[in-house]
Amino acid sequence: MNLDFVRNDFRFNARTSAVIYNKDLSKVLLFNVEGRNFYMLPGGRIEELEESIDTIKREIKEEIGWDNITYTFLALSEEFVTDKGYNNHQINIIYKGIYNDEIKETKFKGLEGDWINFEWVDVNNINNYKIFPEGIAGVINGRSKSNHFINNLIKGVDPNE
């Protein structure tokens, strides 16, 4: 069971994602879902009593079929957004991974459906992409001085309280 809950118009979930670089760190793997105008990092929801590092390994195996990546902690994001009638609070534990094999295709479909589009993106061009969580581009290209960022898109929510 996923580590999330709903109460009235509030929803909480905990997830992990990964900034997966190719072996020379010049490209990073992003994905988007058909019909959306933004990209995200691969990953998914943490299951009850599952360590976040195990979650990212499981999710990447399920989504892409890869299981030969070593992960290290990279960042933490907190998201406050309204979506599908809910005020959402999401904690996202972000790992760094290195894909050591040769890139065979710069664009490919995910294993969970042909509506999921993966793409290797040049790190130097990362700011040309709309990526969620917001702020992750600075972490990807090394320009951010912080590995913790908060995206508060719900008016009236103070993430520091």
Domain ranges in the chain are 4-152
Supply 36's token pair: 């959306």
pLDDT of residue 62: 96
- Cα dihedral 114, 120, 125, 128, rounded to 10, equals 10
User: Residue 153: its pLDDT value, please?
Assistant: 75
Q: What is the pLDDT of residue 130?
A: 94
DSSP letter at 160 equals T
Residue 155 pLDDT grade (very low, low, confident, very high; cuts 50, 70, 90): low
% of the chain beyond a pLDDT of 90? 77
CA 72 – CA 12 distance, rounded (Å)? 25
> What is the rounded distance in angstroms from the CA atom of residue 147 to the CA atom of residue 137?
11
Predicted local distance difference test score (pLDDT) of residue 158: 45
CATH topology of domain 4-152: Nucleoside Triphosphate Pyrophosphohydrolase (3.90.79)
Type of residue at 24: D
pTM of the model: 0.90
What is the tens place of the pLDDT at every residue in 31-52? Answer: 999 988 999 999 999 999 999 9
Average pLDDT value over all residues in the chain = 92
How far is the first Cα of the chain from the last one, in angstroms, to the nearest whole number?
29
DSSP state of 62: H
**Number of other residues whose CB lies within 10 A of the CB of residue 98:** 16
Residue 2 reports pLDDT greater than 90? no
pLDDT per position as a tens digit, 52-83: 999 999 999 999 999 989 999 999 999 998 88
| DSSP 3-state percent helix, strand, coil across the chain (nearest 5) | 15, 50, 35
